[in-house]
Amino acid sequence: MPVVSKLRVVPAHIAQRERQTVRTQIGIVGAGPAGLVLAHLLHLQGIESVVIESRSRKYIEERIRAGLLEHGTVDLLIETGVGKRLQREALTHHGIELRFNRRGHRIDFNDLTGGKTVTIYAQQEVIKDLVAARLEAGLPLIFEASDVSVHNFDGANPSIRFRVAGKAQELHCDYIAGCDGFHGICRPSIPAGVLTEFERIYPFGWLGILAQAPPSSPELVYTYHERGFALLTMRTTEVSRLYLQVPYDEEIDAWSDDRIWSELRTRTAADGNWKLNEGAIFQKGITGMRSYVVEPMQYGKMFLAGDAAHIVPPTGAKGLNLAVADVRIMAQAFAEFYKTGKTELLDRYSEIVLRRVWKAQRFSWWMTSMLHRFDTDNAFDERRQIAELDYVTSSRAAMTTLAENYVGLPWD
């Protein structure tokens, strides 16, 4: 069911005989982490917005994606009043393990970053908390919108057109926030020649599963193995989230539950007292890997945030965190505009956020390059990767570099 609350609906005028028109300050396309956090931050600044989402509430609250939050993301959710359940239910981690040649090496975040941590709390839980906060406050969030399109953002009167429950609507706004993910409509609506794309596609993807099995290790284990990368992560103390590097064009049907467990056992094998906890697999899927950035992240009165403007391979756990970092700056820029009339921060939005985006790109690319097999026949690469892992797990300087990027670079 579409949810539309507290919209100021203005009767249609002659020019738009069949279209209901609505007015707000910021029109937000997409109710992922970027769109919902932006709407929340704007509300706290007294700025009106309408969020338009193409999927149902159930769909976005069940979509399996990220699980690891940087300390800055967690602080922001708590400080802005949407972190209560997170504080009760999330798991705090003080380090990770890098495993290769059957041995584990701990990277101690506490020691290396002055006490910073990361948090396991599934993306769909963040979404549930933000949706609940918005609807409880009676603020507009429209689900199941179809035929969404953006207009006039290079002029003075931007608008978003869409259909909901069969009715055509037009949302007029001061600015449009394109938070509609990698496959959304905002980025492709920018005229040809304005944007420059930077891209790297990897020859592999991740097969991810959720299993009813307690985590085998209290912290995440990133494993380099001659057969490929594996990652042991978790959702709760009862549910494991496990990933395997697979060829980019792999079919999920090629992976029976037995084959998945057998491969995970092989890749994560370690000397000493190690055992992989196994259990019923209740979700599995394959995701491709790419690095992608578009520059600039704005055009006229439309601003892009999150996956709509950039994608990172998941090895650094940066995608959701980067989406939140973008909209934090965007909300500040809108707040400055509505308080002072100045557009200085808005004008510099791309320049400011792209500095962090590229650092996250570099880190995600580096983690991916160090931990995955690119070419199984290349013995030189294998020796080089092992040497890199050996260095990263023995030099305090190298461990600090990994740790400070992993927990999240400072906001400003």
Residue 223 interacts with ligand PHB (CB under 6 A)? no
Instruction: Report d(CA 201, CA 388) in Å as an integer.
Output: 22
Question: Residue 78 CB, nearest distance to ligand PHB (Å)?
Answer: 20
Taking CB under 6 A as the criterion, the residue among 21, 73, 159, 315 binding ligand PHB is 315
Report how many residues bind ligand PHB under the rule CB under 6 A.
9
Residue 310 interacts with ligand PHB (CB under 6 A)? no
C-alpha distance from residue 326 to each of 54, 76, 235, 356 (Å): 22, 13, 25, 9
| 318 is annotated as an active-site residue | yes
Do 316 and 299 contact (CB within 8 A), yes or no? no
List beta partners, residue 196: 295
| 299 is annotated as an active-site residue | no
258's CB contacts (< 8 A; 6+ apart) are: none
Taking CB under 6 A as the criterion, the residue among 21, 119, 223, 233 binding ligand PHB is 233
389: Cα separation from own chain's centroid: 26
| 93 is annotated as an active-site residue | yes
Question: Residue 291 CB, nearest distance to ligand FAD (Å)?
Answer: 12
Q: Which of 40, 71, 93, 225 is catalytic?
A: 93
Span of 49-57, 64-72, 81-89, 351-359 interacting with ligand PHB by CB under 6 A: 64-72
Instruction: Report d(CA 145, CA 165) in Å as an integer.
Output: 8
Closer residue to ligand FAD, CB minimum distance, 231 or 276: 231
Residue with tokens 């549910």: 239
| 203 is annotated as an active-site residue | no
Instruction: Report d(CA 132, CA 134) in Å as an integer.
Output: 5
Interaction partner, residue 174 (ligand PHB, ligand FAD, none; CB < 5-8 Å by kind): none
Residue 69 interacts with ligand PHB (CB under 6 A)? no
Strands across the sheet containing 9-10: 9-10, 20-23, 167-172, 159-164, 146-151
* Dihedral (Cα; 82, 107, 263, 211), 10-degree rounding: -20
Interaction partner, residue 315 (ligand PHB, ligand FAD, none; CB < 5-8 Å by kind): ligand PHB
Closer residue to ligand PHB, CB minimum distance, 244 or 317: 317
Residue 317 interacts with ligand PHB (CB under 6 A)? yes
Active site residues: 93, 222, 314, 318, 406
Binding site residues, ligand PHB, CB under 6 A: 66-68, 220, 233, 241, 314-315, 317
